[in-house]
A and B are shown apart, each in its own frame.
Chain A
Amino acid sequence: ELPPSHFPAARAAAVALGYLRYLRGGPGRGLELRALRRARRQDIDDVGHKYYLELELEDVLDKDRTVSCTAEVLYGLGSNSSAPDVQITVQGELSSTEEADKEFYNRIRSLEKELVAENIPDSHGNVPPELEPIHLLAWAASGYVIWQNSTENTKFHLAQVKHVKQLKRSDEDLQFDYMLLLHEMVSQEVIPWEVAVLWHPQRGARVCRD
C-alpha cells in the first residue's frame, strides 16, 4: 500500500492519465486528475513494478462531473525497457463530445488556409477560445508521448504547445504537426518534442509513428 501523497504513486498516476488522454482525449475532451484515491505497488520478480491505482478524473470542459477509474501501470525492469504497460477501466460514462467534435471538424475543414499557431498557452497563461480544442488535442498527443517515455523516475506534463501547423490531407483525417514542450518534473528539464497527430470525430486521435 502506498500513501497517495508520496511521489511513486503520483508518477504512476501521471502515466495512466497520459495513456487515457491519448485513448479518449481530443479537441472536445480534456481529462485531468481530480484525486488519487488509493495506490498499491507490487514487485514482480524478473518482470518489474506494478502499480494498482484508484483515480478520480474530471473533464476540464465539464468540471461538475467526475468519473472514477482503476488503472494498472507496469514498469518493466532495466533502463532500456519499453513503454509501461497500462490497463485502465473507466467506471461509468465520459460525457459525449459528438457535437463539439463535429463543430471543430467542420470549422477546420472549412478554413481557407491551413491553421498555424504558437505559444499555447502564451506567457500569461492565455488560450484564445478558438484554440482551446487545438490545446486539448495537444494534450491527447502528449499523452501518447508521456505514456511511451515514462519510467518510475520521471513525471511529465505538457508545458506548452510551442508551435502547431495543420497539414491538409486528401482523406478525411485532420492532421496537425505539433512542436510540444514537455516539462519533466524530476530533472526539471523542458524537452521539445515533435509529434504529428491525425484526428477524426469517429476515429479519434492517432499519433504518427516514424
Chain B
Amino acid sequence: MRLPVLLAALVAVATCTETFVGHQVLRVTPKSDEELQKVQELQALEHLQLDFWLAPRGLGLPVDIRVPFPSLQPVKTHLEASGVSYSIMIEDVQALLDEEQTEMLRSSRQLPLDTNTFNYEAYHTLDEIYSFMDMLVAENPNLVSKLEIGRSTENRPLYVLKFSTGGTNRPAIWIDTGIHSREWVTQASGVWFAKKVPTHPGHDLCVASILETMDILLEIVTNPDGFAFTQTKNRLWRKTRSKHSGSICVGVDPNRNWDAGFGEAGASGNPCTETYHGPYPNSEPEVKSIVDFVKSHGNIKAFISIHSYSQLLLYPYGYTNTPVPDQQELHEVSAKAVAALSSLYGTKYKYGSIITTIYRASGGTIDWTYNQGIKYSFTFELRDTGRYGFLLPAKQIVPTAEETWLALKVIMEHARDNMY
C-alpha cells in the first residue's frame, strides 16, 4: 500500500519544517461521471493546497486527498453539497506521523519495548544495556533493584543489579562481567544472567531456593569507559581509560590493580602495556568502587569475576605459588562446576589455580577477594579457545551464557549449603 511510503516521505518533510497538525486524509470513490467531475473540480482549486495521494483515475477507483486543516470545511461542504460521499481515512496526519517516527527510530535502533523483546543473541551498546537494566527493574520491582556503586574515570555510572527476596544484608553472591572491555561475550552473558534470575522461580527450584536465603549481586558492565571505547575506537581495548601523569599512554589493567601482591611479578609497571597495574592499588575508580562496596557489605560469600577467552575455571592465587588453604575444596567445586557446564553442549573447560593454569598474575581481583575472607572466589574464562577469541560470533552468546549458568549454579548452591 502506498500509505507507508508516503508517510515516510512526510516524516522526512515533517522533521524539517512543516507541520501536519489537523490535516485529514479523505477518501472518495466516485460512482458516476458527475461525482468524478466534482472531485476533479477540487484539483483545480489551488488555494486549497490539496495533496492528492491517489488522483482521480476513473469510476469506482478511490481518490485519496490530504486536506490541510483550513481547507477541511470548504472541501467537505463541496462534496456534501454534491452528494458525494467520502470517508475519513486519517483523522490527524501529524499524530500518525509522530507515531510513525517513534516506531522508525525504535526499529532502526532496535530498541526493545521490554526484556522479553530484547535480543539476547546480539551484542549491544552501553546505552542499550543500561536501558535493559531499567526495564528489568521496572518489570520486577519486588526482586530487582539497581545500585550505583560509583563512577568511572569518564564519569559513567557503575551499576550493580541486586536480586533479593528480602531480609537485611543477607549473605550474597557477587558476579561481575566486562571488567576487560574487549571480552564482549561476558557483558552479553551478564545481560542473559540478569534476565534468567527473575525468570527462574516457576522453572527452576535451585535459583529460587538460593534467593530464599541469599542475594545475588550482578555488575554487568564493570568497565564502561573501556566498553564504550571498544564500540567507537578500538574493538580490542582491554584496560580502563584513565590518564596518569607522566605518560601519554592511557589505561590501567583493572585485573592487576587490586591490593593482592600489587606490583609484584605478573603485572607491568609500564603504562603503555596491557597489564599495567596502575600507580597504586585501587587507583581505578572501577576497582575502588567494588572494594568499597565489598567492605561495607561485609557479607559476600562467593565472588565470581568473568572474563574471556580460554575456557577455564580458575581459583586463587595468581600472585604466588603458595596454594590457598581451601585449595582442595575449591578444586572439587571447580570439577563439579565444569562438569555441569560441559553437560549442556560438550564445551570443554580446564580448571585449577591461576598461577598453574594460565600464568602468574599479581594484583588480581579474586586474590584480593579471597584474602578478604571470601572463600568461594572464582574467575571464569569463557568461550572460545582461540578460533575467534575476543571476536566470538554473536550466535554463541546464548549457548555460552546457558552453559556458564549451570556452572554458576553449582558454585552458588555450594556457597548456600556451606555457609561460613
Contact = CB atoms under 8 A, between A and B. Distances in A.
B236 A125 contact: no
Interface stretch (A69-77, A91-99, A170-178, A185-193): A185-193
A35 B122 CA distance: 29
Given A188-B238, A188-B253, A32 B273 contact: no
Interface string B222-240: 0000000010000110100
A122 interface: yes
Contact of A125 (B253, B385, B391): B391
Interface stretch (B110-118, B353-361, B367-375): B353-361
A189 B389 contact: no
B119 to A, nearest CB: 12
A189 B352 CA distance: 24
A107 interface: no
Contact of A187 (B274, B388, B394): B274
A33 interface: yes
A81 to B, nearest CB: 21
A6 B389 CA distance: 20
B275 interface: yes
B387 A7 contact: no
Given A7-B358, A187-B273, A188-B253, A159 B385 contact: no
A123 B235 CA distance: 6
A183 B389 contact: yes
A60 interface: yes
A125 B274 contact: no
Contacts of B348: 35
Contacts of A14: 386
Given A6-B352, A123-B235, A186 B359 contact: yes
B358 A189 contact: no
A125 B273 contact: no
Majority-rule SS of B interface residues: loop
Given A121-B393, A187-B273, A157 B386 contact: yes
Interface residues of A, number: 28
Given A7-B358, A33-B385, A124 B238 contact: no
A126 interface: yes
Contacts of B357: 5-7
A30 B266 CA distance: 33
A181 interface: yes
A124 B273 CA distance: 25
A6 B184 CA distance: 26
Contacts of A188: 238, 253, 274-275
A159 B236 contact: yes
Given A188-B238, A189-B273, A123 B391 contact: yes
A92 to B, nearest CB: 22
A3 B390 CA distance: 26
Given A5-B350, A188-B275, A125 B393 contact: yes
Nearest to A123: B235
Of the listed residues A3, A5, A32, A125, the one surrounded by the most CB atoms of chain B closer than 10 A to its CB is: A125
B398 interface: no
29 contacts: A3-B356, A5-B350, A5-B357, A6-B352, A6-B356, A7-B357, A14-B386, A32-B386, A32-B387, A60-B387, A121-B388, A123-B123, A123-B235, A124-B122, A124-B394, A125-B391, A125-B393, A125-B396, A126-B394, A158-B389, A159-B236, A159-B390, A159-B391, A185-B358, A185-B359, A186-B359, A187-B273, A189-B274, A190-B274
Given A7-B357, A125-B388, 10 more contacts: A3-B352, A32-B385, A35-B348, A123-B123, A123-B230, A183-B389, A185-B359, A187-B275, A188-B253, A188-B275
